[in-house]
Amino acid sequence: MSLSVSPLVDLAARVGLSPTSALLTTAMTHSSYAAEHGVTSNERLEFLGDAVVDLAIADLIVRDFPELDEGSGSLVRSKVVNESSLAEAARVLALGAVVRVGKGVQKENGRERPSLLADAFEALVAAIYLECGYELARDFVQRALRADVEAALTEPGAVDPKTRLRQWSEARGRGTPRYEVTADGPSHAVTFEARVFLVDEQWAVGHGRSKKAAEADAARRAWERRDA
């Protein structure tokens, strides 16, 4: 089969590529079609696009969500850069109507397979990156997946306890939580106690084997009593 002209032209216009772009054609070529017609599949582009998507989302998290530490940022990124999210982004772009597939995949209505769509999305990102540069590819990825990042932030466990408490406290006019930490015990078995204050009121006390762990425990306990 040949590329669907109208969907391809529409896709090219939306992503800033020419409908005659060789890279766009390759990006929309599944391995099943490539094997049947002796052309290049999108597998190498998918490999590159995977890295570009990962970097673009990390870039978004660092620039627009400074409250996330590296652990929370990694968790949010993992919830966004996955087959399910990328396949949904591909559906929004109607890539299933554009990608070229072999007869077997076509017969099985395989154009809507999540894995096929996710790979096509990553290959498309790579095509944009190679033809237009990183900034345009980054902006494309961030527009496509920003809502997923924001949704991931609302999921339980997506944000560390200190960040969650700070967001809640600041939103209610209580300011940024303040922590006072003390250490006790011998150097080989030291324990830490953290007290968290909202304005000048002590809200909770936490303990841990490190300062960071004690503060997180205090923040968790303060969060649990927020509606008390």
Catalytic residues: 50, 122
Cα separation, 24 vs 11, in Å, equals 10
Cα separation, 4 vs 166, in Å, equals 51
Q: Which amino acid, one-letter code, is at 139?
A: D
Instruction: Record the tokens describing residue 140, joined without a space.
Output: 């494309």
Cα separation, 134 vs 16, in Å, equals 13
Cα separation, 126 vs 53, in Å, equals 9
Q: Phi and psi of 171, rounded to 5°?
A: -65, -20
Give the CA count within 13 Å in the CB-facing half-sphere of 92: 15
